[in-house]
Amino acid sequence: MRFVAAMTLAVIGLVPRSVQAQTPAAFYKGKTIELYVGTDPGGGYDLYARLIARYLGRHMPGGPSIVVKNMPGAGHLRMANWVYGAAPRDGTVIAAAPQSVAIEQVLGTEGVQYDARQFTWIGRVAPVVEVTYTWHTSPTKTLDDARRRETIMGGSGVASPTVFYLKALNQLAGTKFNVIPAFPSNAETNLAMQRGEVEGGSKAWASMKVDNADWLRDGKVNILVQYATSRDKDLPDVPLMMELGRNEDERRALNLFAMGNAMGRSIMATPGIPADRLAALRRAFAETMSDPELISFTHEKKIDFGPALTGEELQKLVEETLALPAHVVALAKKARGG
């Protein structure tokens, strides 16, 4: 028995430290955490990913470096599928979660190769509120006007929310938007709007407050609808998308799209991360969101920041999205297709 015990100790001594139990601090010391973004550099996802990357490492045990890597393709699907199916599951890969990650799954979007419930949810940096607006010269000043007359709107591609939000409202709220999905960016849509080629467009409210503050100050635009699960404090009199459905099923179908806005700019990770490392990531994220230097920076740059959601709260939101009844999902799927 002494011989067996001695041999067992000898074998244990030969096992590499990397496969023996390690504290999160020991595991992360000297390592790099890669934070993937499913878009090119620039834009909201990239902005928030780089904000978190700048501060997260200082709150992580072991002080790892955080490096942002961009993996664009297929409207975030390339990145989401890779994080789910191919990335290391040891806590060294995290990602900027696409806000529609659960929506694409429940709608059966071609190319989805993940189960959003199985991602490891770390936390939300900020929700996203988007708005649809018309130029001050348009006869469409309200949603009721949009129900009475055809309103020509600009959009940036058939798969973009700037297009399918309005198609959904046509199907489920009785509006008459005629969307031209020919503009490569919101800036191009806005130029066309000012030239009188279209009457309006859609964009993130946080961006509009900064980019088009003079329009808001001078009453140059009419804000018709906001896309979120609750009214933004800046827009108390602007209806939510989900409030515009004509019956309960239509309202639930419209709310499905808003659930992506509630996901907002969140951080997720691969499935299967060891529990102690998950706890370390979530704790570090919470501390990052309270970092005075980060908060000061976002105030200075007028970047919308918070309110945060925990990983557990994000997990619940994903599960609620995927649990919608089949007939409501069918309505939403038809509406998105126009």
Task: Supply the CATH number for residue 29's domain.
Answer: 3.40.190.150
Contacts of 263 (CB under 8 A, 6+ apart): 97, 99, 100, 101, 102, 124, 127, 314, 317, 318
184 phi and psi, to 5 degrees?
A: -70, -15
Read off the tokens for 61.
């045990």
pLDDT at 186: 84
Statement to judge: residues 157 and 242 lie in one domain: yes
How long, in residues, is the chain? 338
pLDDT at 224: 98
Last residue of a domain, one of 237, 260, 283: 260
Other Cβ atoms closer than 10 A to 102 = 27
Count of structural domains within the chain: 2
Q: Are residues 70 and 152 in the same domain?
A: no
Q: 217 in a domain, yes or no?
A: yes
Please report whether residue 108 resides in a domain: yes
The partner residues of 133 in beta bridges, in order of sequence, read 201, 223
**Same domain (yes/no): 110, 221:** no
The CATH number of whichever domain residue 179 belongs to comes to 3.40.190.10
Rounded to 5 degrees, what are φ and ψ at 129? -110, 125
Output the six-digit token pair for 136: 């001050």
Does 225 map to a domain? yes
Query: Do residues 170 and 193 both lie within one domain?
Result: yes
> Whole-model pTM?
0.83
Identify the domain containing residue 159 by its residue range. Answer: 130-260
Residue at a domain's end among 227, 260, 293 = 260
CB 39 within 8 A of CB 70: yes
Is the domain of 182 the same as that of 243?
A: yes
CA-to-CA distance for 117 and 323, rounded, in angstroms? 11
Please report the pLDDT score of residue 210 as a whole number: 82
The structure tokens listed for 107 are: 């709608």
Q: Can you give the pLDDT of all 338 residues of the chain as single tens digits?
A: 454 444 444 444 544 444 446 899 999 999 999 999 998 888 788 999 999 999 999 999 999 999 999 999 887 899 999 999 999 999 999 999 999 899 999 999 889 999 999 999 999 999 999 999 999 999 999 999 999 999 999 988 766 788 888 999 999 999 999 999 888 888 889 999 999 999 999 998 988 988 899 999 999 999 999 999 899 999 999 999 999 999 999 999 999 988 999 999 999 999 999 999 999 999 999 999 999 999 999 999 888 899 999 999 999 999 999 999 999 999 999 888 75
187 within a domain of the structure (yes/no): yes
Task: Give me the pLDDT at residue 158, please.
Answer: 67
